[in-house]
Structure 1
Amino acid sequence: MRKRNCRVEIYFTKDELESLTKKVRKSGLSRESFCRHLLNGAEIKEAPSADVPMLINEVRRVGYNIDQILRMANARGMLDVPKLREALTENRKVEKMITAAYTMSED
């Protein structure tokens, strides 16, 4: 069963529809989702370029590797564990900053 059962019809001029279509394309959302986000007061950001998701994945991969090294070092009592923890914390901050800059929060 549909979650959204109420339908609204809106008429636009050609210019208004072109403007809406351009904004929708930039956002990467469907037209309906774009309108819902606008009505709910969400800040709509331009969709990230294709390399941003790859960058986020790479930062996560590096963080995962640091975490694995930290676990091994901690278990064996070697390396400078506080420095590794600091590196992991910094990596997670960078990941959160990139993600926040290029994604939209789903309220």
Structure 2
Amino acid sequence: MRKRNCRVVVYFSKDELDALTKKIRKSHLSREGFIRAAVAGKEVKDGPTADVPALIQEVRRVGSNLNQILKRANSIGLLDVPQLRKDVADLRTVEKLIVDAYTMPD
């Protein structure tokens, strides 16, 4: 059984439909999801760009650096605190970029 069983039919001109389609494509949402978000008053952001692979690569690089530092610290009994703090700060920056790119404000 459907949760949404009320149907609305809306007619658009060719230009209006083209404008709506462009916005939907930029958001990477379905047409229904885009319209529901717009009606709910949510800000509909553009979908992720081609920079997503670069973000993933950066997160992996920072994670690998942290892992190497922690392994070295564990085997020697020492900890390279300045390098660890720098890598943690880098990781937080990348996390913020990803969160900003993929979440919509409430």
Fold shared, TM-score > 0.5 on shorter chain: yes
Alignment of 1:46-57 (within 5 A): 46-50=46-50, 52-57=51-56
Shift of 1:54: 0.4
Query: What root-mean-square deviation, in Å, do the aligned CA atoms of Structure 1 and Structure 2 show?
Result: 2.1
Count of residues in correspondence between the two structures:
105
**What letter is aligned with 2:26?**
K
2:48 counterpart SS class: coil
Could you say which residue in structure 2 is the equivalent of 1:72?
71
Q: Percent identity?
A: 35
Per the normalisation by structure 2, the TM-score is: 0.80
2:2 counterpart SS class: coil
Residue by residue over 1:12-63, the C-alpha shift from the partner in whole angstroms, topping out at 9 and shown as x without a partner, is 122211111111111111111111111222222222322x110111121012
2:87 counterpart SS class: helix
Per the normalisation by structure 1, the TM-score is: 0.79
Of the structure 1 ranges 71-80 and 17-26, higher mean CA displacement relative to structure 2 is found in 71-80
Shift of 1:98: 1.9
Q: Distance in 2 between matches of 1:104 and 1:14?
A: 31
**What letter is aligned with 1:42?**
K
Could you say which residue in structure 1 is the equivalent of 2:37?
37
Could you say which residue in structure 1 is the equivalent of 2:25?
25
Which consecutive unaligned segments of at least 5 residues does structure 2 have? none
Quick check: 1:24–1:31 contact (8 Å CA) kept in 2?
A: yes
Q: Runs of 4+ in structure 1 displaced over 4 angstroms?
A: none
Shift of 1:106: 7.9
**What letter is aligned with 2:23?**
K
Quick check: 1:63–1:88 contact (8 Å CA) kept in 2?
A: yes
Which consecutive unaligned segments of at least 5 residues does structure 1 have? none
Shift of 1:79: 5.1
Q: Distance in 1 between matches of 2:98 and 2:23?
A: 21
Q: Distance in 2 between matches of 1:92 and 1:9?
A: 47
Could you say which residue in structure 1 is the equivalent of 2:87?
88
